[in-house]
Amino acid sequence: MSDRVREYISFKGRVQGVGFRYRLSHLAGRYGLTGWVRNEYDGTVSAEMQGRPEEIEVLLAELYKDRYIRVDEMSRERIPELSDEHGFHVDY
């Protein structure tokens, strides 16, 4: 059994135009997470992150500390892991 999980996360708040995707991507690299992040047309940001659960939690806590980002609402869903994914990227 893997000690890794994959989550689909949607962020609402001041999350577009404030460096949110860059910050999340940078933190994902720091914590060894794989996945992607992208802006959505409705003003939210979506991401899929895969890694150890405690590293995902630390990444999310770091986002809340950022002075330009404001997450008002976040929804999370566990989804199946991807075995062939390497790295984290920003989708455009």
Catalytic residue among 4, 14, 38, 39: 39
- What are the start-end ranges of the H helices in the chain? 20-30, 53-65
Give per-residue burial for 74-84: e unless 16+ CB within 10 Å, then b. Answer: beeeeeeeeee
Read off the pLDDT of residues 2-37 as tens digits, 9 standing for 90 and up.
Answer: 799 999 999 999 999 999 999 999 999 999 999 999
Q: Is 70 a catalytic residue?
A: no
DSSP lists the bridge partners of residue 75 as 10
Rounded to two decimals, what is the model's pTM? 0.93
Domains (ranges, CATH) in the chain?
Answer: 5-87 (3.30.70.100)
Q: Is 38 a catalytic residue?
A: no
Nearest Cα residue to 77 out of 39, 38, 46: 46
Beta strands in the chain (DSSP E): 5-14, 34-39, 45-51, 70-79, 88-90
